[in-house]
Structure 1
Amino acid sequence: MGHVNPAVVAVAALATLMSCQAQEGRSCVDGNGQAGTCINIRSCQPQRELLQAVKENRAPPNAIQILRQSVCEILSRERLLVCCAQSTSTETTTSAGTGSGRDLLPRNCGRVDLTDRIIDGEDAPLLAWPWMALLRGTARGQPASWFCGGVLINDRYVLTAAHCFNEHKLEFVRLGEHTLSTTEDCQSGVCAPPPQDITTEQIIIHPQYKSPCQQCNDIALLRLSSPVQLHPIHLVPICVPVDPVKDMGFSEADFQGKHAWAAGWGSTSRSPLRVSIPDTLQQVFLPIREDTVCPLLKRGYPEPRMVLCAGGDGKDTCRGDSGGPLQLSNRAETRRFVVGITSVGPEVCGRKSTQALYTNVHFYVQWILENLRP
């Protein structure tokens, strides 16, 4: 027998097996109340990562209970079957990102430019965020407008928020934009190529969006109708944290306490009655942290890891920033990674006590990879 993970033993000891008839592949309900299938825990990313968090003493208080209620059967000391929610299980026992999905993510991503140096934000340098996307469309018979942001992850896919499509009908995605009012963006003698407007071939909304809470699973992928023409400086995909420890040099748990960049063309007004859309892409540096308001924002989410809390001190993202990226650098400060997608913001922007919720990209990385195609 190989080495037995002590965390597996701990969970197994807590599991009450009501039946010895359980079979791999049968339908079940997991510890979060979601329908799923009994599979090997190695094939279920959420349960696998929760088990790892228990082992490392960084799991939420209800983690053991969730795992205990998710156990289908213990086949041997080496093999534990758990109930895995249908949208998160994988077909193989390999870890996230070893299949073709990861192969479609570019290695030359998220480069940090030498110029690197929204409420209480500032104009972003021209070369700072070359993966930003703008979504344009109509809603309720109103004229077309820029209604959400997004982020380019390869030459065919943009990552954004599912709630952007609650009311709006998408017309096209703009990439390579910086200042909306100018046909050519120049700064310090450097001029960017014209932005590219591309229609979409497919809008892929997470199948469990709005379940079990209204803001749950707020993530979507846009497949462009044709590849965007990348540019080594002005238009580059951002990196996706498939394996944060390997890719970034620290774990998802270590996101807490770090400062991240958010960017977008969202409202810069603090008043809910006045929308002030900036002409130039804005950027703001936000702390990722669990303030006192964060648990209130997370109420209704069955798994706290589904979202990240960021902001405070009078800084946050605001209306129009929805779908835009929350970005962290790797330990070497050489690449940017999208760790969050702007999901839920405060009614009044920029108060010291306010924070915003960002869909945790790493939590959904398996879903992202499964939905990428050449």
Structure 2
Amino acid sequence: MGHVNVAVVVVAAMAALVGCQTQQGSSCVDGNGQAGTCISIRSCQPLQQLVQALRTNTGPPNGFQILRRSVCNIQINREPLVCCASSGGTGLDLLPKRCGVTGLVDRIVDGEDAPLLAWPWMALLRGKARGQPSTWICGGVLINARYVLTAAHCFKSIFQIELEFVRIGEHTLSTVQDCENGLCAPLAQDILVEQIIMHPEYGSPCKECNDIALLRLSHPAQLNPIHVVPICLPVDPPKDMEFSEEEFQGKVAYAAGWGSTSRSPLNPVTPDVLQQVLLPINEGNVCNQLKSGYPNRRWTLCAGGEGKDTCKGDSGGPLILSNKIGTKGFVVGITSVGPKVCGRQKTQALYTNVHFYVPWILKNLRP
């Protein structure tokens, strides 16, 4: 059959779809006659595998017809939506039903101490380089009881970092138990890591391309209704998110972490209390320069530029957007690359675009 491109499938399917396109997130029937949901082809692992098999001439004889019949919507200048069978094993069933919920709706975020209940999905990575003492090396974010999402560059081979454990449920580093306004949180959980899953193409074709990693914990974190809650992934369809990736631009996102609060790269100052800040997501001249080495602009998001920033030690931590009423949080970015001097005016940082990598994340989750 030769190499098959998704674009070919789109063209072949357009005639059949004229006047009868299925809305994203709606029920549908796939090319095998199975009930499913109309979602982005990137979020449907079975059809992704079928496309790959067709490209390498290892697909079934009727593979092209199955793929063509599975296209449920054609959107201008976007990848096709496909009917993905509900039992297709996309990893969605491993995402928590309750996610992104915090005990706080109203937050004041301006590079200040975070309230105790603000970010119940935060994680801290503890490790050490060869011959060096243990230290907090990176941040991360809990996406279900067994997995933490972080940045791949935290484990660069040149650093020779030995990851010791992940801490879940931390707020104030110097206290054994964190309390605020008469409310005390459960003790923080230090959990060993069973597996580090770095993106297989991290560092290619550019130095920090595909800067994303998953940590599989040795045992599930103990969840708590208000103190330890996984964050939501921006999966397709984003039912509770109320906006798509195309609408990220112009939004103001939250970032949080225990990274340096100093503007000087030579004198990092590690805060005792979890910090939070509001950062605008936008693409301008600075962003264009930052993304110049990335073949695909969708791999990253640009945020910051108003004298507020993430900094050394925040790597791997989340960039968070909430739904319109502020009751549910979604991780849309992972702190990746920042300026040498943090928080300067007219500078920005790059955040790995989680929405783009959702298919890779779901593919690597297991019970």
The normalised TM-score by structure 2 is 0.78
The change in CA–CA distance for 1:42 and 1:350 in structure 2 (over 3 A counts) is farther
Separation of aligned partners in 1, 2:288 and 2:296: 12
The amino acid that maps onto 2:77 is V
The amino acid that maps onto 1:143 is P
1:70 is aligned to: none
Matches within 5 A, 1:152-301: 152-166=142-156, 167=159, 168-243=161-236, 245-301=238-294
8 Å contact 1:104–1:373 — kept in the other structure? yes
Q: What secondary structure sits across from 1:201 in the alignment? A: strand
1:137 is aligned to: 127
1:148 equivalenced with 2:141 (yes/no)? no
Q: Quick one: percent identity of the two aligned structures? A: 67
8 Å contact 1:96–1:242 — kept in the other structure? no
Once the two structures are TM-superposed, the CA of residue 52 in structure 1 deviates from its matched residue by: 3.8
Once the two structures are TM-superposed, the CA of residue 169 in structure 1 deviates from its matched residue by: 1.4
8 Å contact 2:286–2:348 — kept in the other structure? yes
The structure 1 residue matched to 2:113, chosen from 98, 106, 123, is 123
Once the two structures are TM-superposed, the CA of residue 96 in structure 1 deviates from its matched residue by: 10
1:3 equivalenced with 2:12 (yes/no)? no
Pairwise CA RMSD of aligned residues? 3.0
Once the two structures are TM-superposed, the CA of residue 100 in structure 1 deviates from its matched residue by: 4.7
1:61 is aligned to: none
Q: What secondary structure sits across from 1:54 in the alignment? A: coil
* Superimposed CA distance per residue, residues 239-259 of structure 1 (whole angstroms, 9 cap, x where no aligned partner): 001125433111101010000
The change in CA–CA distance for 1:342 and 1:24 in structure 2 (over 3 A counts) is same
The structure 1 residue matched to 2:77, chosen from 38, 51, 54, is 54
8 Å contact 1:244–1:250 — kept in the other structure? no
Separation of aligned partners in 2, 1:298 and 1:346: 13
1:108 equivalenced with 2:131 (yes/no)? no
8 Å contact 1:120–1:350 — kept in the other structure? no
Separation of aligned partners in 2, 1:2 and 1:313: 49
Once the two structures are TM-superposed, the CA of residue 120 in structure 1 deviates from its matched residue by: 5.8
The change in CA–CA distance for 1:4 and 1:287 in structure 2 (over 3 A counts) is same
8 Å contact 2:96–2:230 — kept in the other structure? yes
Give the aligned length: 311
Separation of aligned partners in 2, 1:194 and 1:173: 14
The normalised TM-score by structure 1 is 0.77
Runs of 4+ in structure 1 off by over 4 angstroms are 39-43, 95-98
Separation of aligned partners in 1, 2:352 and 2:77: 22
Structure 1 gap segments, 5+ residues each: 6-22, 28-38, 56-66, 68-79, 81-91
Separation of aligned partners in 1, 2:323 and 2:64: 32
Structure 2 gap segments, 5+ residues each: 1-14, 20-52, 58-62
Separation of aligned partners in 1, 2:147 and 2:366: 9
